[in-house]
Structure formats: structure tokens, C-alpha cells
Amino acid sequence: MRQVGHFIGGKHVAGTSGRTADIYQPMDGSVIGKVALASPAEVRAAVENAAAAQPKWAAVNPQRRARVLMKFLDLIAQNNEELAELLAREHGKTIADAKGDIQRGVEVVEFSLGVPNLMKGEFTDGAGPGIDIYSLRQPLGVCAGITPFNFPAMIPLWKLGPAIACGNAFILKPSERDPGVPMRLAELFLEAGGPPGILNVVNGDKEAVDAILDDPDVKAIGFVGSTPIAEYIYARGCANGKRVQCFGGAKNHMIIMPDADMDQAVDALIGAGYGSAGERCMAISVAVPVGKATADELVKRLIPRVESLKIGPSTDSSADYGPVVTKAAMEKIKAYVDLGIEEGAKLVVDGRDFKMQGYENGFYVGGCLFDHVTKDMRIYKEEIFGPVLGVLRAESYDEALKLTNDHEYGNGTAIFTRDGDAARDFASKVQVGMIGINVPIPVPLAYYTFGGWKRSVFGDLNQHGPDSIRFYTKTKTVTARWPSGIKDGASFVIPTMG
């Protein structure tokens, strides 16, 4: 059975805490490995390695740092099949979906290759008599990323790419549920010429997370996961004087206007609601058709599509989605479906009893579809994180907009319409961070920033794009005056532009 330890100082290190967690293969429910859970001492060893290596890395000019990341990207491409298969085996998503996971992460590292330009400061010649003013962007030191199970390649790459490009060292604490790909990425970074200690991977649970949050040498922390944990990490990290960005839960609405292309809307809901078994923070989990006729037609078309979803093992290239990540996740999703029935929603497609022939012990949940969901139900208020779509009918556009704005989460949303005025009004007024207009999963490309509003985010700067460079650097402003023979005596007033 495979044993996964840590990657510290450019080497694989066996765990010494005596604590481990099982690594499952979700498609058949088997245990395929053990992952070590780090102690505070092991986290401290990784931080010390990172702190020792970082000053020399920061002194490497940005273009040469970018060249290392170019080689890193080349090695990811060369090993893409291996990485996708490893990701699918530990997570459960299909290999095609796993490749998308990797590619979305790669695109952020590609953006980070522009770091020589992105880190440029500003300069003002002659800001005063014989005075020049200029600003510098400098790395923070040791940064850390605490990343989730649902994107074991993408989110680590979103975090480590910009951080390392800016001259920081990085501690990655990936999910203990699927640690294989993060460990392999660390190996490839070293092979690409990355110095030992610049990228360290520490596997663990809350004990490791708390050690990162409390370590005085960790200057910045990025997190993606559930809202309660995001709020905890943000509060504890900030209390310890760290720069922190935390991205939490979501309940993404898709509004379907009466004039929408219904074929397009149904296709969008099927892909955005059930892709990756719904284990995405940008999944559409609430459909809001406007008007009874729109709702009736939407549900009528959705039912056969949900019933015909093809669910299969990760290795099935024709599967629409695979199993969920753990047995506990499977049971939690089914419990939410039970709850929805108790709350009075109409379950029009029931996938709770789905069993995969030949994989009866796998963690599978069939597609579920609720109609007549109401805003007071827990299945509407809470993130289910599974292949469950709820239809909440609205009588008007204003009611649909208010539903979205009143929800505590504000990660992503979409509207499907042919009316440009309605689309523009929605984009202007909706209180959500990422908006799709006839686009169901509005994840911005790597050169824009990714982030929600309200209780979907804690912190002032978003992921990737220009915000990532701002997050992983600090600004230093220099006011310089060189002797010019002018002697004007001591001044006791604050400098001004006068």
C-alpha cells in the first residue's frame, strides 16, 4: 500500500507524528494508500526550510524565476496523462474532468510568467527639487496555501504559481483526501530547476493548519474550502498578523428568463449542475425560472436529461461524472435529499439508490432534481456540494434578482436571456462576485481575478489575475534626494507638493 509523507527541502520525508489517514479510490471504495498527518514540529521544519531558501530565490531576477516556471509547465505537459490518472483515481472525477482541473491551474502559472512586468513599480522624476520618488514590489517571504479536495491540481497551482513567481517560498497544505497530485507537482518543480525549500508540501489535518496559522514566519495564507472553515482561518490568521485570503461556500443561482433559448439553458444547467458530481464551488445548484410557463417547460425538459445522465468510474471516458470523494460525502448528499423531501420540495428525479454495476462499493450518487423549492428550505440555504439541482420558481425578474441578492453566499451567478437590457441590468445590480450572461459557470480567465462576495469570501484581494501579484507582494516607496550643492537648512514641517 502506498505511503505518502511530506515534501520538505526538496526531499520526500516520512511522517513522524504517528498519525495517518486513509486515501480512498472513490470509484470502488477501496483504500489505496495512507497519508501522514503532520505534527506542528513537521510544519515548523517545512517553514524553516522555506525561510532559509527564500532570500536567495527572491534575489534571482524575475525573468529567471519565470524561466523555471516555464520549465515546470513543460514538465506538467509531458506528464499530463499520469497526473490526470492520479487525480481521477484519488478524487473520483473523470479523467477528462481531471485534465480540465490541471489545465485551469496551468493557465494561472502561464499568467504568472509575466511577473517581470507584473512586479514593475512606478517612478516619478523630479517629484520635488532634486527629488525622485519610486516604488518597489517585493516578496513577502514564506507564504502558505491550504487547498481543498475538489481541485487537487488547479487550486494548488493558483496559489503556488503567483507566490513563487513573485519571489516567495511556499508551504502547500493540500487536502489529505487526494494528496498525490500536489506531491507530484512538488517533484516536477524541483526537476524544473526550482531550488529545494521553495515549494514544500505538508500533508495534514487541523493540527497542521493551526501550526501554519500560528507560525510567525508564515507571512500570508490562502485558503479555499467551506465558509465556516474559511471564517476560522481568516480570523485566526489575521489575529496573528498575517495577510489572509479565504474563499468559502457558494449557492449559485441561474436565472432563466422567458425569452431564453431553452435548449441552451437546459444544456447549461445539466453541465453546470451535475459536472464533477456537483463538487465545485462554481456549480449551479439553484435554477430560477421566471414565470410559470418558463418553469414548467424547464422542468419538463430537465427531467429526462437528469434521468439519462451517465455515471461511471473515473476511467470511463463516456461518463458524464464519476463518484463523489468519500463515503461520508455520499451519505451527506443523500441526507440533504431526504431533508428536501421532509421540507416539502418535490423530488422529481431521485438518484439516491444509484448503484454502479461492478463498483457497488463506490461512492456514487445519481442525479437528483427538486422542483418547488422555497427560500426558507435548508436545501436552498445551504451548500450541498453534490449532484442535486433545485428549481425555485420566481414570478418576475425582480423576484429572481432579489433571491440572488438576499442569499448569504455571493460566489457566482448566471442569467440566460436574449434581452440585452435585462442582462445589463442584472450584471449591474446583482450582489455577486462573478456573473455569467448566457454562460453557466462564469469562472474568469487567468488574467482576471477570481472571487465572490458576501460570505463566499473573507479578505480584500482575490485569486489569480492582478490581485494575486498584489497579495503576494508588499509595496515599498522610496523618496530619494541627491546632494546638489543647495543648502536650505533644516525643515520642521511635513513635505508637501507646494
Active site residue 166: no
The proportion of the chain whose per-residue pLDDT surpasses 90, expressed as a percent, equals 95
244/489: higher pLDDT:
244
Whole-number Å distance between alpha carbons of 3 and 416? 48
| CATH 3.40.605.10 segments of the chain | 2-248+464-478
pLDDT in tens, 267-300: 999 999 999 999 999 999 999 999 999 999 999 9
| CATH 3.40.309.10 segments of the chain | 252-437
The β-bridge partners of 477 are: 135
pLDDT over 80 at 487, yes or no: no
pLDDT at 493: 73
pLDDT in tens, 185-226: 999 999 999 999 999 999 999 999 999 999 999 999 999 999
Pick the catalytic residue: 166, 246, 281, 368? Answer: 281
What fold is seen in the domain 252-437?
A: Aldehyde Dehydrogenase; Chain A, domain 2 (3.40.309)
pLDDT at 485: 64
Whole-number average pLDDT of the chain: 96
Q: pLDDT category, 130, cuts 50, 70, 90?
A: confident
pLDDT over 80 at 494, yes or no: no
CATH 3.40.50.2300 fits 2-248+464-478, yes or no: no
pLDDT in tens, 355-390: 999 999 999 999 999 999 999 999 999 999 999 999
pLDDT in tens, 297-340: 999 999 999 999 999 999 999 999 999 999 999 999 999 999 99
In the numeric block, which cell numbers belong to residue 150? 475538489
Q: pLDDT category, 497, cuts 50, 70, 90?
A: low
